[in-house]
Amino acid sequence: MGVSVRRDPRGADDGYHSPLVPGLRSSVEAQRLAAELAFAAGRLETLASAPPGLYAEVADRGADLEERTWLAFLIAYLCPLEDDDPFAAIAAARTPRASAELPDLAEIATGPRTACDPALGTRTLDAYKAWAARAGSQFAAFTGETGWSSERRFARVFERLALPGLHRDARFELLVSLGALGVYDLGAGSLQLGGENQVTIAAKRALGIGDSLLLDRRARELARACQLPLEALDLGLHNWETRQRVTMGMGPQAEVPPGILARVYGALGL
């Protein structure tokens, strides 16, 4: 019987060390992480300044707020495709918020971070609409108490969005995009780690610890040292762990911003 040897695709230990990512011993892995963090931060800057595709509709302050919020939910739930027309499937399936008709999810093409499960049918969409209705509107549901800080609002709404079929990644991305696009005052104070998602797995591996409270503290330290918004660590860690760059609507031609990359390289001692 022959013996097969499985080679670990991750970088070999070359003596690399940084107190910001104590779980890493490979400069190659650190360089990959730096690139993905820089890409994710650049995406957030683009969402704030020149949002592409359907994101521009979400950011349009002249449009109806409830429709903009509903569209943001559909984008996060279905996830943009990784091709030259990332929003094509979402645009074809979308229905107005005010309509009783829901998107047909039977054969819809979805992106890599989608929460959509055809087996659930419209259960998640129904649950989301019911969640907003209980608050009186999506605006009321995402705003909560007017005196809340952006970080408290993010945490409270994230918790309340624990709906059937809406996993951690989709909830986090929804709140991140709504904040970056200027729809609601939302800012992450925590990565909301937990479970078996790729972001949590990556955070444990890079930050070298499993305790959720310490993970969050180290994540904030990493973001602060690299001068990145904490939100950038979500997509950055996901892409680093999966070894596949999900652009989340930026398209396959999107590049890593060199200025941000240089800043992250410096912080990580690369």
Residue 9 DSSP code: -
pLDDT value of residue 99: 86
Exposure string of 188-209, with b = 16+ CB inside 10 Å and e = fewer, is bebbbbeeebbbbbbbbbbbbb
Cβ burial, residue 139 (10 Å; 0-12/13-18/19+)? middle
pLDDT value of residue 182: 98
Q: What is the pLDDT along the chain (270 residues), one digit of tens a residue?
A: 343 333 445 678 899 999 999 999 999 999 999 999 999 999 999 999 999 999 999 999 999 999 999 999 999 999 999 999 999 999 999 999 988 889 999 889 999 999 999 889 999 999 999 999 999 999 999 999 999 999 999 999 999 999 999 999 999 999 999 999 999 999 999 999 998 999 999 999 999 998 888 999 999 999 999 999 999 999 999 999 999 999 999 999 999 999 999 999 999 999
Which backbone phi and psi does 94 adopt, to 5 degrees?
-60, 145
Distance CA 4, CA 2 (A): 7
Q: What angle do the packed helices 198-207 and 232-242 form, to 10 degrees?
A: 90
> Which amino acid type is present at position 41?
A
Give this prediction's pTM: 0.94
pLDDT value of residue 98: 87
Nearest to 115 by CA among 218, 233, 224, 197: 197
Distance CA 75, CA 204 (A): 28
What are the E-state strand segments in the chain? Answer: none
pLDDT value of residue 93: 94
Domain limits, the chain: 27-267
Six-digit token string for 125: 């969409």
HSE-up of 227 (CA within 13 Å, CB side)? Answer: 10
> Which amino acid type is present at position 61?
R
Distance CA 144, CA 6 (A): 51
